[in-house]
Amino acid sequence: MERQIEEIWTDLHQELKNFIFSKVRDIDTSEDILQDVFLKIHLNIHTLSDCSKLTSWVYQITRNSVADHYRKTNFEVQIDGLDFAEQENEEPLYLSLSNCINQKIRKLSEKYKQAILLTYFDKYAQITLSEKLNISYSGAKTRVQRGREKLKELIVDCQNVETDNNGNIIGYQNSQK
Protein backbone atom coordinates (compact mmCIF):
# COMPACT_ATOMS: atom_id res chain seq x y z
CA MET A 1 0.00 0.00 0.00
CA GLU A 2 2.86 2.42 0.81
CA ARG A 3 4.20 1.87 -2.67
CA GLN A 4 0.78 2.63 -4.12
CA ILE A 5 0.61 5.93 -2.23
CA GLU A 6 4.13 6.79 -3.34
CA GLU A 7 3.18 6.10 -6.97
CA ILE A 8 0.08 8.27 -6.68
CA TRP A 9 2.24 11.04 -5.22
CA THR A 10 4.77 10.73 -8.04
CA ASP A 11 2.16 10.55 -10.78
CA LEU A 12 -0.40 13.06 -9.56
CA HIS A 13 1.26 15.42 -7.06
CA GLN A 14 1.99 18.32 -9.43
CA GLU A 15 -1.21 17.82 -11.41
CA LEU A 16 -3.33 17.90 -8.24
CA LYS A 17 -1.41 20.87 -6.89
CA ASN A 18 -2.15 22.81 -10.09
CA PHE A 19 -5.78 21.72 -10.04
CA ILE A 20 -6.24 22.84 -6.43
CA PHE A 21 -4.44 26.13 -7.06
CA SER A 22 -6.76 26.83 -9.99
CA LYS A 23 -9.68 26.56 -7.56
CA VAL A 24 -8.35 28.45 -4.52
CA ARG A 25 -5.72 30.82 -5.97
CA ASP A 26 -3.52 30.70 -2.90
CA ILE A 27 -0.32 28.65 -2.79
CA ASP A 28 -0.34 28.03 0.98
CA THR A 29 -3.99 26.98 0.95
CA SER A 30 -3.28 24.77 -2.05
CA GLU A 31 -0.47 23.03 -0.18
CA ASP A 32 -2.69 22.53 2.88
CA ILE A 33 -5.50 21.05 0.81
CA LEU A 34 -3.04 18.84 -1.09
CA GLN A 35 -1.69 17.44 2.17
CA ASP A 36 -5.26 16.81 3.31
CA VAL A 37 -6.00 15.00 0.03
CA PHE A 38 -3.02 12.68 0.41
CA LEU A 39 -3.91 11.99 4.02
CA LYS A 40 -7.42 11.00 2.91
CA ILE A 41 -5.98 8.85 0.13
CA HIS A 42 -3.68 7.12 2.59
CA LEU A 43 -6.48 6.51 5.09
CA ASN A 44 -9.02 5.34 2.52
CA ILE A 45 -7.07 3.57 -0.23
CA HIS A 46 -8.34 0.25 1.12
CA THR A 47 -11.90 1.27 0.15
CA LEU A 48 -11.04 1.56 -3.55
CA SER A 49 -12.45 -1.58 -5.11
CA ASP A 50 -11.55 -0.91 -8.77
CA CYS A 51 -7.95 0.18 -9.32
CA SER A 52 -8.79 1.30 -12.86
CA LYS A 53 -10.76 4.15 -11.30
CA LEU A 54 -7.90 5.36 -9.12
CA THR A 55 -7.43 8.72 -10.85
CA SER A 56 -11.12 9.60 -10.82
CA TRP A 57 -11.31 8.51 -7.18
CA VAL A 58 -8.35 10.76 -6.29
CA TYR A 59 -9.91 13.69 -8.15
CA GLN A 60 -13.20 13.15 -6.35
CA ILE A 61 -11.36 13.33 -3.02
CA THR A 62 -9.62 16.48 -4.25
CA ARG A 63 -12.85 18.15 -5.37
CA ASN A 64 -14.47 17.29 -2.05
CA SER A 65 -11.49 18.68 -0.13
CA VAL A 66 -11.67 21.95 -2.07
CA ALA A 67 -15.43 22.11 -1.39
CA ASP A 68 -14.79 21.39 2.31
CA HIS A 69 -12.29 24.24 2.36
CA TYR A 70 -14.86 26.66 0.95
CA ARG A 71 -17.58 25.44 3.31
CA LYS A 72 -15.27 25.97 6.27
CA THR A 73 -14.13 29.36 4.96
CA ASN A 74 -17.70 30.48 4.34
CA PHE A 75 -18.71 29.58 7.90
CA GLU A 76 -15.75 31.53 9.25
CA VAL A 77 -16.58 34.49 7.02
CA GLN A 78 -20.18 34.36 8.13
CA ILE A 79 -19.19 34.19 11.78
CA ASP A 80 -16.62 36.97 11.51
CA GLY A 81 -18.49 39.12 9.04
CA LEU A 82 -22.08 39.07 10.18
CA ASP A 83 -23.63 42.18 8.77
CA PHE A 84 -27.10 42.72 10.12
CA ALA A 85 -27.58 45.71 7.80
CA GLU A 86 -28.30 43.15 5.09
CA GLN A 87 -31.12 41.64 7.13
CA GLU A 88 -34.71 42.69 6.53
CA ASN A 89 -35.09 44.35 9.94
CA GLU A 90 -32.43 47.01 10.02
CA GLU A 91 -32.70 47.76 13.71
CA PRO A 92 -29.81 49.86 15.01
CA LEU A 93 -29.68 47.63 18.10
CA TYR A 94 -28.63 44.60 16.05
CA LEU A 95 -26.22 46.61 13.94
CA SER A 96 -24.36 47.64 17.09
CA LEU A 97 -24.49 44.19 18.65
CA SER A 98 -23.20 42.29 15.61
CA ASN A 99 -19.67 41.90 17.01
CA CYS A 100 -21.10 40.63 20.29
CA ILE A 101 -23.34 38.23 18.37
CA ASN A 102 -20.36 36.96 16.36
CA GLN A 103 -18.55 36.10 19.59
CA LYS A 104 -21.63 34.42 21.05
CA ILE A 105 -22.25 32.30 17.94
CA ARG A 106 -18.68 31.00 18.27
CA LYS A 107 -19.50 29.81 21.80
CA LEU A 108 -22.44 27.65 20.68
CA SER A 109 -21.89 23.93 20.36
CA GLU A 110 -21.21 22.84 16.79
CA LYS A 111 -24.71 21.47 16.16
CA TYR A 112 -26.45 24.69 17.27
CA LYS A 113 -23.93 26.93 15.53
CA GLN A 114 -24.48 25.00 12.30
CA ALA A 115 -28.27 25.21 12.63
CA ILE A 116 -28.19 28.98 13.26
CA LEU A 117 -25.74 29.72 10.44
CA LEU A 118 -27.52 27.58 7.88
CA THR A 119 -31.04 28.81 8.64
CA TYR A 120 -30.40 32.49 9.31
CA PHE A 121 -27.40 33.33 7.18
CA ASP A 122 -27.51 30.74 4.39
CA LYS A 123 -31.32 31.05 4.47
CA TYR A 124 -31.96 27.29 4.58
CA ALA A 125 -35.56 26.32 5.21
CA GLN A 126 -35.83 24.01 8.21
CA ILE A 127 -36.90 21.14 5.93
CA THR A 128 -33.72 21.69 3.89
CA LEU A 129 -31.71 21.79 7.10
CA SER A 130 -33.19 18.45 8.16
CA GLU A 131 -32.20 16.91 4.82
CA LYS A 132 -28.68 18.36 4.92
CA LEU A 133 -28.06 17.17 8.48
CA ASN A 134 -29.88 13.89 7.93
CA ILE A 135 -32.23 14.45 10.87
CA SER A 136 -36.01 14.59 11.11
CA TYR A 137 -37.88 17.80 10.32
CA SER A 138 -39.05 18.09 13.94
CA GLY A 139 -35.44 17.50 15.04
CA ALA A 140 -34.29 20.35 12.79
CA LYS A 141 -37.00 22.66 14.15
CA THR A 142 -36.02 21.80 17.71
CA ARG A 143 -32.33 22.32 16.97
CA VAL A 144 -32.94 25.77 15.50
CA GLN A 145 -35.24 26.74 18.38
CA ARG A 146 -32.75 25.57 21.02
CA GLY A 147 -29.90 27.25 19.16
CA ARG A 148 -31.82 30.53 19.18
CA GLU A 149 -32.58 30.15 22.89
CA LYS A 150 -28.95 29.41 23.74
CA LEU A 151 -27.75 32.33 21.60
CA LYS A 152 -30.24 34.67 23.26
CA GLU A 153 -29.08 33.53 26.72
CA LEU A 154 -25.48 34.27 25.75
CA ILE A 155 -26.34 37.70 24.36
CA VAL A 156 -28.55 38.69 27.30
CA ASP A 157 -25.65 37.84 29.63
CA CYS A 158 -23.58 40.64 28.06
CA GLN A 159 -23.08 43.45 30.57
CA ASN A 160 -23.93 46.14 28.03
CA VAL A 161 -27.33 44.61 27.13
CA GLU A 162 -30.49 45.79 28.87
CA THR A 163 -33.54 43.51 28.98
CA ASP A 164 -37.12 43.81 30.15
CA ASN A 165 -38.76 41.50 32.72
CA ASN A 166 -39.49 38.97 29.96
CA GLY A 167 -35.85 38.77 28.86
CA ASN A 168 -36.37 40.76 25.66
CA ILE A 169 -33.53 43.04 24.60
CA ILE A 170 -34.66 46.63 24.99
CA GLY A 171 -31.40 48.55 25.06
CA TYR A 172 -27.67 48.47 25.16
CA GLN A 173 -24.64 50.56 25.96
CA ASN A 174 -22.22 50.82 23.08
CA SER A 175 -18.96 49.77 24.73
CA GLN A 176 -16.83 50.94 21.78
CA LYS A 177 -17.36 54.66 22.47
How far apart are the C-alpha atoms of 155 and 151, rounded to whole Å? 6
pLDDT computed for residue 105 by the predictor: 82
Any idea what the Cα angle at residue 107 is, between residues 163 and 156, rounded to 5°? 5
Tally of CB atoms within 10 A around 161: 16
* 150: nearest Cα among 99, 110, 95: 110
**Domain residues of the chain, as ranges?**
2-71, 81-172
The predicted model scores a pTM of: 0.43
Give tens-digit pLDDT for 110-152: 999 888 888 877 778 888 889 988 999 999 999 999 998 898 8
pLDDT computed for residue 82 by the predictor: 36
Mean pLDDT (the chain) is 78
CATH architecture of the domain with range 2-71? Orthogonal Bundle (1.10)
pLDDT computed for residue 1 by the predictor: 57
In this prediction, the residues of the chain whose per-residue pLDDT falls under 50 are 75-96, 177
CATH topology of domain 81-172: Arc Repressor Mutant, subunit A (1.10.10)
Tally of CB atoms within 10 A around 88: 5
Indicate the DSSP class of residue 167.
S
